Structure 1
Amino acid sequence: MSRIVSREQYFDAALGILADTGFKGLNIGRLCEALGVTSGSFYHHFTSWGDFVDAFLHSWESGQASVLRELDFGRGSWIADIAALRQLTESLNQGAEAAIRAWSANEETVREVQTRVDDLRRGTVQKAIRQVVPDDETAGVLTTFGMAMLIGYQQLSGDSRPSMARLLDEYVRLIDSHHRAEVQA
């Protein structure tokens, strides 16, 4: 009996392959093997590799945007917003994210999507930080620092890197130090 899989299962499998092998390892054969289906199944859902890539990127971008919208910052305390950002950051598939970023350095359509996702993330982080740090320039620096920490972490390899949780502990401490300085001023 043949196995029926959805487009979303292809997208999930792609994220796993990206995390395991990088963007150069992502292809129709590997996707079908990971899902236990034939290439006919692939072509049932997608007209070509380009069609798959476009649909995958759209799904990834839409998912990122949806998650950020659902957080709905500014309705609670800044501590709750930073905690939600932290949880979101820790839940990212760091390997797949790094592979998408590497892919974006090699392909314009991927770069455009990566840039939009980065812009969404930057805006969300800055919105949360602006609750703590009223100075636009300092909030911008802290936002860029957070983005650079995430992107840099994803690019590091090996066992010598600290955990994302440890990095986020320090980042939250930095943000909190700005909050304390503002309260004392």
Structure 2
Amino acid sequence: MRLLVTRDDYFASAMDLLATEGAGRLKIAVLCKRLKVTTGSFYGYFGSLDGFVEQFLEYWEEEQTNRIERLVAASEDPLERVLVMKRLVATVPHAAEAAIRGWAHTNAAVDVVQKRVDEHRVRALQDVLASVIPDAAEAHRLAVMGITLLVGLQQWRSPVTPADFDLVFDSYEQMVLARVARG
């Protein structure tokens, strides 16, 4: 048995489990076995599976949405923010995100967070695009299109390879940059 695992160890293990085996296998015993700890460790951190799910979803939203948004905002160059957003989105755990989206169909708490993350991502991308595309309605349409491409790619391919991602998002980037060039 391991002497100490952190919440982040549980969350990383859950992301891997979701990506490889799906939400149906996200159980206390499975997580503890993967981390080589007793269930007492799990209950000490989370109290219950519902407590774990709540904290896990907060972790996922922070790491895969809020953190990316902060990193993108660190650049002062509006065009660089567009490129940084694309690079960072390429690194999200696509298979785990696809599993979370499927899980949202059967778990109301997951559904609420999934919808909030989607809305947050649309707003964040719209803000990035609005810095280079002055027409707010067009920036919104392109943001919705970008998020839809991401979700569609995650649902279409497993695993999402760099070639798959580039095929879709290089074209999206070209479309956005062409719109920027038009003025």
**TM-score under structure 2 length normalisation:** 0.90
Cα separation, 2, equivalents of 1:144 and 1:85? 15
- Which amino acid in 1 is paired with 2:138? T
Q: In the alignment, what sits opposite 1:141?
A: 141
Deviation digits for residues 89-139 of structure 1 (CA, Å, limit 9, x no counterpart): 111000111111111121111111111111221111101111222112221
Does 1:42 pair with 2:42?
A: yes
Query: What secondary structure is seen at the aligned counterpart in 1 of 2:157?
Result: coil
Q: Do the aligned residues in 2 keep the contact of 1:3 with 1:36 (CA within 8 Å)?
A: no
Relative to structure 1, is the Cα distance of residues 72 and 157 closer, same or farther in structure 2, using a 3 angstrom cutoff?
Answer: closer
Task: Indicate the structure (1 or 2) with the bigger Cα radius of gyration.
Answer: 1
Q: Percent identity, please.
A: 31
The alignment of Structure 1 onto Structure 2 pairs a total of residues equal to 181
**Structure 1 unmatched runs, 5+:** none
Cα separation, 1, equivalents of 2:66 and 2:160? 32
Q: Do the aligned residues in 1 keep the contact of 2:11 with 2:56 (CA within 8 Å)?
A: yes
- Which amino acid in 2 is paired with 1:43? Y
Cα separation, 2, equivalents of 1:159 and 1:46? 30
The 5 Å alignment of 1:97-116 reads 97-116=97-116
Q: Do the aligned residues in 2 keep the contact of 1:132 with 1:175 (CA within 8 Å)?
A: no
Cα separation, 2, equivalents of 1:130 and 1:76? 14
1:52 CA drift (Å): 0.9
Q: Do the aligned residues in 2 keep the contact of 1:65 with 1:117 (CA within 8 Å)?
A: no
Relative to structure 1, is the Cα distance of residues 160 and 128 closer, same or farther in structure 2, using a 3 angstrom cutoff?
Answer: closer
Q: Do the aligned residues in 1 keep the contact of 2:61 with 2:117 (CA within 8 Å)?
A: yes
- Which amino acid in 2 is paired with 1:151? V
Deviation digits for residues 62-89 of structure 1 (CA, Å, limit 9, x no counterpart): 333233134216x522321111101111
- Which amino acid in 2 is paired with 1:167? V
Query: What secondary structure is seen at the aligned counterpart in 2 of 1:163?
Result: helix
Q: In the alignment, what sits opposite 1:3?
A: 3
Deviation digits for residues 29-56 of structure 1 (CA, Å, limit 9, x no counterpart): 2111211112222122121111111111
1:165 CA drift (Å): 2.0
Q: In the alignment, what sits opposite 1:171?
A: 172
Cα separation, 2, equivalents of 1:18 and 1:89? 18
- The Cα RMSD (Å) is 2.0
Q: Do the aligned residues in 1 keep the contact of 2:2 with 2:35 (CA within 8 Å)?
A: no
